[in-house]
Amino acid sequence: MRWEGGRESSNVEDARGGFGRRGAGLGCGGLLLVGIVALLTGRNPLQLLQTVEQAQVGQPAPAGAGQPEDPESKFVRVVLASTEDVWTDVLKNTKTPYEAPHLVLFSGSTPSACGMASAAVGPFYCPGDRKVYLDTSFFQELDQRFGAPGEFAAAYVVAHEIGHHVQNLLGISDEVSEGQRRAWDEAQANDLSVRLELQADCLAGVWAFHADRDAHLIEPGDFESGLKAASAIGDDKIQERSQGYVVPESFTHGSAQQRVEWLRRGLESGDPNACETFGR
């Protein structure tokens, strides 16, 4: 990717270096106080601790935390800036103008409005605070564990989570959440989740189409790298790797073939309307 020297987003918060880890902001005295309050009130100390952590989510980041300067964070800032430019332009003539989210870089774990973000969960978007959470070690995991190296593979991960933000702005996420609450079984709820994820893959492809056409960020071989990443993190590939067999009814993100198909659809069309997975 031709990202060096590109505009860098200011909407990146750095929660690495221990800041935001469970109990990191409390210290021994804070944990002791939680224990005393629990003893006096009869409440579960773990519930109290979770309440404190959730309250910390709304606190401002430490001074200087918004502008990390290492190469990985600079790459993320450029990719995020590109998504801001693309989606601002794509949605400018719609009823829903684009509102840029924040992206939180963390290491290990950090609190979010959706609960604790952790490296084990992987990158995710939280509708509650409209933030993307990313442990950049996932980029190495994408390369070493999933066999999907390259900067565009990493950019695809960021763009996929921004796709979820677009879904949230358009009200699609709320519709899916309501549908899952009304689902008569887990398989139906999982199917809605798969449709949401595949649409986010397609929206990531829409971003890449415009980033290539308008800003020339894409180099030969980049799209192939992204398609390889989409295939590598298909539910069937992950299940085969982790448990040795595949259970399609339990898919939540889609098969390798589905993820490649929908990412390709966005890459080739550049049109969000081509990303309709719900048959509306």
* Per-residue pLDDT tens digits for 87-130: 999 999 889 999 999 999 998 889 999 988 887 788 999 999 99
d(CA 201, CA 253): 10
Q: Per the domain annotation, does 113 fall within a domain?
A: yes
Confidence of residue 62 (pLDDT cuts 50, 70, 90): very low
- Highest-pLDDT range among 62-71, 132-141, 198-207: 198-207
Q: pLDDT-derived band of residue 195, with 50, 70 and 90 as boundaries?
A: very high
Residue 167 lies in a domain: yes
Judge whether 115 lies within some domain. Answer: yes
Residue 2 lies in a domain: no
The arithmetic mean of pLDDT across residues 59-63, rounded, is: 43
How many domains does the chain divide into? 2
Pairing relationship of beta strands 131-134 and 109-112 according to DSSP bridges: unpaired
**What pLDDT was estimated at residue 119?**
79
| Domain shared by 76 and 133, yes or no | yes
* pLDDT mean over 133-156: 86
C-alpha 51 chain-centroid distance: 24
145 in the same domain as 48 = no
86 and 141 fall within a common domain: yes
In a domain, 4, yes or no: no
Other Cβ atoms less than 10 A from the Cβ of 199: the count is: 25
Residue appearing with tokens 């763009």: 159
In this structure, is residue 5 part of a structural domain?
no
Give the per-residue pLDDT at 121.
Answer: 81
Res. 56: pLDDT tops 60: no
Range of the domain at 46: 27-57
51 and 70 belong to one structural domain: no
CB 196 within 8 A of CB 183: no
98 in the same domain as 49: no
pLDDT value at 6 more than 50: yes
160 lies in the same domain as 71: yes
Handedness of CA 30, 36, 42, 44 (dihedral sign): positive
Greatest mean pLDDT among 113-117, 130-134, 240-244: 130-134
Between CA 259 and CA 232 the distance in angstroms is: 9
* Between 145 and 111, the higher pLDDT residue: 111
47 band by pLDDT with thresholds 50, 70 and 90:
low
214 shares a domain with 148 = yes
Which of these, 275, 15, 71, lies nearest to 160 by C-alpha position? 275
Portion of the chain with pLDDT greater than 90, in percent: 45
Tell me how many helices (H) and strands (E) the chain has. 10, 6
Which range has the worst mean pLDDT, 32-46, 65-79, 234-248, 264-278? 32-46
Let me know: does 194 contact 255? Beta carbons within 8 Å. no
Asked if the structure places residue 129 within a domain, the reply is yes
Q: Are residues 99 and 47 in the same domain?
A: no
Mean pLDDT of 170-195: 90
Q: Quick one: 250 and 123 in the same domain? A: yes
258 within some domain: yes
Say if CB 124 and CB 161 are below 8 A apart. Answer: yes
For tokens 């589905």, the residue is 258
Confidence check: pLDDT of 34 > 70: no
Contact 233, 253 (CB under 8 A): yes
